Amino acid sequence: MRLSNGEVLLAWPLAQHIITQGWFYNDGSLHRAIDLRTQLGNTSTQPVYAAEDGTVDQVQDWDGHTKTGMQSYGTMVRIKHAPYEGKPLQTRYAHLSSYCVKLGQQVKEGDLIGYSGTTGNVFGAHLHFEVILNGSRTNPLVWLDSDFTTASGQVFTYRTGEHAVEKPANATQPSGEEVLIDVSYHQGVIDWAKVPYRAIVRIGYRGYGTGKLMKDEQYDANLAGAKTSGKLFGFYFFSQAITVDEAREEADFCASLAPTGYPLFFDSEWGHTTKTGEHDGRADNLTKDQRTAIAMAFCEKAKAHGFTAGIYTFTAFASANIDYAYLCEDYIGWLADTRTNYDKTLPRYIHQYGQTAKGGVPGITAVVDLNHLVKALPAVDKPANKLQVITVGPVSQGDADAIYLLCKERGLTDAGLYKSSWA
């Protein structure tokens, strides 16, 4: 549907609007589409409807076994719509069980075009939906209304992209707030001399499944480039720690690679989901209290090394899976929420509000996260030089974590000031 101001509001292609994967996969990697749940009752086959008036300009039948290239879409329909701002606009509907339109057929918004299925490269029934502007895929959530739910709190529902509804690529500094970016190997090789913003650089991550500590593939280049150009703001580490000892090990790993005196953020999110839908996040089964204790252990060790310790997560995760507000009493908060009407009661020093389109930041050809520095950061935390040893034991690891939380509530932290030991 074309609005009076010339904008496009597409109709949802399914009767139910439950998103299982967003513009970014649940592991944070780029999806460039959305997946919609089609399971309903005892069947996974649901009617699929045209998102807007147009002409069917491509149909494809799956050969039944190939899962690469265009065949990865399985049985598929693509519709060409009226141009948007002079650029061709198309929608794609993939993994269908069958379609009921022909190449060149004219369709109206809401017309039945086929039925959902499990064809192509899929693990489970869903509808893969794309919006293509001028030959490039754009975020479908920018073209659709907000009448949707998500299958879980781990689904990324960023409403950013190349469509004119939102243009974070032309980021300004509202109310004087500084714009920051965060970068990793996902941004590729960066020309730091051209980058206009300060950056939070990923040091590394704990390997999925293996638990091995890994340095980000572009860390050395990003550290050197950001520091030389005066664009280094701080660091972050994507954690998959499942114990407080592993969290401290991660902080030690960061300290071995990064200069101190900067903010260092503990990145706490869901585990890894592969592009084929297989989930192998080693930290997914932790309780909220365990996640909180692990984050505290990392932050306290980071403080002991001379960093300003911080915690990064997103709103849905902060509410249900980690005690983010509690952690922000002692550590600086960095919160992601791309909604217009986000929860402003949650504390934060940095607010991540979206991503650019490709090439949206000078010097970087890939998609980039955008953040606002909401308020000035505190000075670097300085641990005291007095050591008090409290020996407790023998206890289980679970009891040890509970004791650690109790110590935190009593103001006893493990930043080198106190030690607890157990058999």
Task: Please give the helix or strand (H or E) that residue 294 lies within, else none.
Answer: helix 288-305
pLDDT of the residue at 129: 97
**C-alpha–C-alpha distance, residues 158 and 139, integer Å:** 8
CA 259 to CA 214: how far, in whole Å? 18
Checking if the pLDDT of 80 tops 80, the result is yes
Least confident range of 17-31, 81-95, 312-326, 343-357: 17-31
Q: How far apart are CA 314 and CA 269, in angstroms?
A: 8
Stretch 298-307: mean pLDDT, rounded? 95
| Mean pLDDT (whole number) for 108-123 | 94
CA distances (Å), origin 419, targets 149, 387, 412: 45, 8, 9
User: Does residue 168 have a cis peptide bond before it, meaning omega lies within 30 degrees of 0?
Assistant: no
Start-to-end CA distance of the chain, whole Å, equals 67
Q: What is the pLDDT of residues 148-186, one digit of tens each?
A: 888 876 676 655 443 333 333 333 344 457 899 999 999
More confident: 364 or 417: 364
Least confident of 26-35, 59-68, 228-237: 26-35
3-state secondary structure of 296: helix
Evaluate whether 257 touches 290 at the Cβ level (below 8 Å): no
Q: What is the pLDDT of residue 199?
A: 96
- For the chain, list the domains and their CATH numbers: 18-150 (2.70.70.10), 168-373 (3.20.20.80), 388-421 (no CATH)
Angle value at C-alpha 309, between 305 and 310, nearest 5 degrees: 155
* 178 vs 296 pLDDT, higher one: 296
Inter-CA distances, 89 with 69, 127, 265, 288, 356, Å: 22, 19, 40, 44, 20
pLDDT of residue 161: 41
Give Cβ neighbours of residue 242 (< 8 Å, ≥ 6 apart): 211, 282, 283, 286, 290, 294
Please state the pTM of the whole predicted model: 0.55
Q: In the predicted model, is pLDDT for residue 421 greater than 50?
A: no
Mean pLDDT of the chain: 82
pLDDT value at residue 208: 65
User: Which residues, at least 6 apart from 152, have a Cβ–Cβ distance to it below 8 Å?
Assistant: none
> What is the mean pLDDT of the segment spanning 226-239?
94
How many other CB atoms are there within 10 angstroms of residue 166's CB atom?
Answer: 18
pLDDT one-digit tens code per residue, 358-407: 778 999 998 898 999 998 887 665 443 433 445 555 667 677 777 767 66
**Residue 225 pLDDT:** 95
Q: What is the mean pLDDT of residues 80-96?
A: 95
- pLDDT attached to residue 156: 65
Q: Is the pLDDT of residue 47 over 90?
A: yes
